[in-house]
Amino acid sequence: MSKAPIRVAVTGAAGQIGYALLPRIASGQMFGPDQPVILQLLELPMEKAMAALEGVAMELDDCAFPLLHSMVLTSDVNVAFKDVNWALLVGSKPRGPGMERNDLIKENGPIFVGQGKAINDHGAADVRVAVVGNPCNTNALIAMHAAKDVPDERFTAMTRLDQNRATAQLAAKAGVASTEVSHTLIWGNHSATQVPDYVNTRIGGKSAGEVITDREWLQGEFFTTVQQRGAAIIKARGLSSAASAAGGLVDHVHDLVHPQAEGDWRSVCVPSDGSYGVPAGLISSFPVRATAKGYEIVQGLELDDFLRARLDATVGELQREKEVVADLLG
């Protein structure tokens, strides 16, 4: 018997990421090849945005995806989040050249108050949320605070793109296929302070820091390339990453709904429970293992002094972002 469709809301659905993302959801790459989906697509209530959304929906129709059960196009948050099982919060302003992601905080933050409330009031009992709109960790925190009745652990933000970037850089440096790189781990904020972990990430099953012995590269170029990749793409394209961001979100949600084996993990920003000295009350990137019941933060990983100091710094930035949006946290 075929599965019942699930409802998936995507905000900013006519934007760059939306355009790259929706065909991948509709073709089964996010939820699996036997899971039909109803796409509930939110855009701004402006003629141009809604017309663009109609065009995206026409293209999705024209793909005749077997798993695409139906679509709802709306500019009303209450309609967009009605009965949704997953809310993918992409819609918000991207940064331009010369900006840091948290320069967007005052402009984008308020969006997540209204959306968090609507998710709270209209989402399905099992609703889960993935935030992409920047600064995504702090926006996820805002939505989580606004959704008083939804358990905190249902809120996640995305460092999967950073994980994938780190995997690609390590594979290239080691001269191996990206499939040889596993357990790739990003700690902290999705920002220029994020911490790509070369101790716990593995190449061919060994610590990346043992396989690549060039410490200067690991702590220098590797770090800055991953931390600054978003800016490098904006500089090159004149627009922020879209295909790779959509790919990151497909991987993020896919791996949260398809559990990992014990000992494995993915980089996911989740509410801290105090693990690794990250204060509870922040949403930070951790090693996260999806389980049949939800997920767990993998415990017991060791960091060297360099990584520990960087983790403290990125956590300090998350704390400062939280202070900036204190008025939005209710």
Binding-site residues from annotation for NAD(+): 12-18, 108, 115, 132-134
Judged by CB under 6 A, the number of residues near ligand NAD is: 30
Report in angstroms the alpha-carbon separations of 77 from 69, 91, 133, 156: 21, 12, 16, 19
Stretch that binds ligand NAD, among 15-23, 167-175, 206-214, 276-284 (CB under 6 A): 15-23
228-247 residues in contact with ligand NAD (CB under 6 A) are 240-242, 245
Query: Does the footprint of ligand LMR cover residue 161 (CB under 6 A)?
Result: yes
Q: Binder to ligand LMR among 109, 196, 230, 271 (CB under 6 A)?
A: 230
Q: Are 123 and 87 in contact (CB under 8 A)?
A: yes
Q: SS3 string of the chain?
A: CCCCCEEEEEECCCCHHHHHHHHHHHCCCCCCCCCCEEEEEECCCCHHHHHHHHHHHHHHHHHCCCCEEEEEEECCHHHHCCCCCEEEECCCCCCCCCCCHHHHHHHHCCHHHHHHHHHHHHCCCCCEEEECCCCHHHHHHHHHHHCCCCCHHHEEECCHHHHHHHHHHHHHHHCCCHHHEECCEEEECCCCCCEEECCCCEECCEEHHHHCCCHHHHHCHHHHHHHCHHHHHHHHHCCCCCHHHHHHHHHHHHHHHCCCCCCCCEEEEEECCCHHHCCCCCEEEEEEEECCCCEEECCCCCCCHHHHHHHHHHHHHHHHHHHHCHHHCC
Residue 101 or 202 with smaller CB distance to ligand LMR: 101
Tell which residue, 25, 11, 256, 270, has the closest CA to residue 116. 11
Work out whether 14 is an interface residue with ligand NAD (CB under 6 A): yes
The structure tokens 């108050």 sit at 113
Site map for ligand NAD, 122-161, x if CB under 6 A?
----------xxx-x---------------------x--x
Q: Is 95 in the site for ligand LMR (CB under 6 A)?
A: yes
Residue 266 partner contact from ligand LMR, ligand NAD, none using kind-dependent CB cut-offs of 5 to 8 Å: none
Residue 314 interacts with ligand NAD (CB under 6 A)? no
Q: Which two tokens stand for residue 320?
A: 């400062």
Residue 251 binds ligand NAD (CB under 6 A): no
Nearer to ligand LMR, 18 or 94 (CB): 94
User: Among residues 85, 240, 272, 284, which is the contact residue for ligand LMR, using CB under 6 A?
Assistant: 240
* 174 near ligand LMR, rule: CB under 6 A: no
Active site residue 254: no
Known binding-site residue numbers for substrate: 95, 101, 134, 165
Q: Which amino acid is at 213?
A: T
Q: Does 111 bind ligand NAD (CB under 6 A)?
A: yes
> How far, in Å, are 184, 270, 281, 284 from residue 274 at the CA level?
21, 11, 9, 10
Q: Which of 82, 95, 165, 266 binds ligand NAD (CB under 6 A)?
A: 95
Active-site residue identified among 122, 145, 190, 252? 190
Segment interacting with ligand NAD (CB under 6 A) among 7-15, 29-37, 140-148, 258-266: 7-15
If one asks whether residue 252 binds ligand LMR (CB under 6 A), the answer comes out as no
From the list ligand LMR, ligand NAD, none, pick the one residue 92 interacts with, judged by a Cβ distance below 5 to 8 Å according to partner type.
ligand NAD
Which of ligand NAD, ligand LMR, none lies near 91, with the C-beta cut-off 5 to 8 A by kind?
ligand NAD
Q: How far is CA 138 from the centre of its chain?
A: 12
Q: Which residues bind ligand NAD (CB under 6 A)?
A: 11-12, 14-18, 42-44, 49, 90-95, 111, 132-134, 136, 158, 161, 190, 240-242, 245, 248
Instruction: List residues near ligand LMR by CB under 6 A.
Output: 94-95, 101, 134, 161, 230-231, 233, 240-241, 245
Q: Give catalytic residues, as residue numbers.
A: 190
